[in-house]
Amino acid sequence: MMKGEIIVLETEFFKALAHPTRLRILEKLAFGEVCVCEFIEKLDLEQSNISQHLAILRKQNIITSTKVGLKVMYRIKYPEVLNVLGLVREVLAKQLKESEELIKHLTDPFE
């Protein structure tokens, strides 16, 4: 596999995560299996839209599903993905803390 191809894979991976609905889906899956019906109920979005977002995460091999009667249960396939989300949140937290401090210096410039 060539370097350029890996970058494309990485890009596709990041694209799969780059949508609020898909992040919300993963957030729910962090606690365990969830059926589509529950996503519909909790996320308050159109069924077909949720199905499309699930398809994108499935295609990227981030989640898998099994059919149980009429329902389809989804779960996270590689739990490491949750670590990625956690690490991103850490970076964001650090960024926010710094801008907070900047604001503090702006409002109390002589302390």
Partner DNA sequence: TTGCCTTATTCTAATATTATAATCTTTTTT
Partner DNA sequence: AAAAAAGATTATAATATTAGAATAAGGCAA
Q: Which two tokens stand for residue 2?
A: 């060539």
Phi, psi of 32 (to 5 degrees): 130, -175
Cα separation, 102 vs 94, whole angstroms = 13
CB closer to DNA, 7 vs 101: 7
30 CB burial (10 A radius; 0-12, 13-18, 19+): middle
Query: Does 103 sit near its own copies (CB under 8 A)?
Result: no
**Residue 103 interaction partner, one of DNA, its own copies, none, beta carbon < 5-8 Å per kind:** none
From 29-37, 46-54, 84-92, 101-109, give the range in contact with its own copies by CB under 8 A: 84-92
Q: How far is the CB of 20 from DNA (least distance, A)?
A: 7
- Of 10-39, which residues contact its own copies (CB under 8 A)? 10-11, 13-15, 17-20, 23-24, 27
